[in-house]
Amino acid sequence: MLSRVRQPPINPALRDLERHDFWAGFAIALAGLLLVVCGARHLTSIETVEGGTAWETQLVKAFSTSGLQFPEQVIPAPPPNGDDPAALERWARQNSQYSAPAWKVRVDAGATTPCPT
C-alpha cells in the first residue's frame, strides 16, 4: 500500500499570491505573433539552387533534410591521374564552364535526406 510522502508544514498566510499581469503576457504574445507573420513572409539573403532567394520556411526545411549546399560540395573533381589524353579531355570539357561559386551557402529546396546527423 502506498503511503503519503512526509511534507514540511505549510503556511498559506505567508505564501506569495503570485499576482499575474495580463499586459506583460499579452505584449509578449503580440510580439511573437508579429514575428510569426514576418517569418512566414521573410525572404532570407540565402540563394536557392533554382535561383532567387529562399523563404525562411525553405531554410528551416533545409535544416532537416540536408538541404544546405556549401561551395566545397560543388567543386569539380580533380583531373584524372595517368596519361590518358581522352580522360583528360573529357574532364576539361566537363569543367570548361566551371567558375568558383560566388555564394557561400545555398538552399536546395528539393533535398530529402532524412537524417543529417
Residue 102 is a binding residue for other proteins (CB under 8 A): no
Q: What is the dihedral of CA 54, 56, 58, 61, to 10 degrees?
A: 150
> Which of 49, 58, 88, 101 is in the footprint of other proteins by CB under 8 A?
58
Q: What is the dihedral of CA 100, 106, 107, 111, to 10 degrees?
A: 40
Residue 74 is a binding residue for other proteins (CB under 8 A): no
Q: How far is the CB of 71 from other proteins (least distance, A)?
A: 10
Contact 39, 56 (CB under 8 A): yes
Give the integer Cα–Cα distance in Å for 71 and 12: 64
Q: How far is the CB of 27 from other proteins (least distance, A)?
A: 8
The stretch near other proteins (CB under 8 A) out of 6-14, 79-87, 91-99 is: 6-14
Residue 93 is a binding residue for other proteins (CB under 8 A): no
Residue 45 is a binding residue for other proteins (CB under 8 A): yes
Count residues binding other proteins (CB under 8 A): 59
- Name, in order, each residue with C-beta under 8 angstroms of 41's C-beta and a sequence gap of 6 or more: none
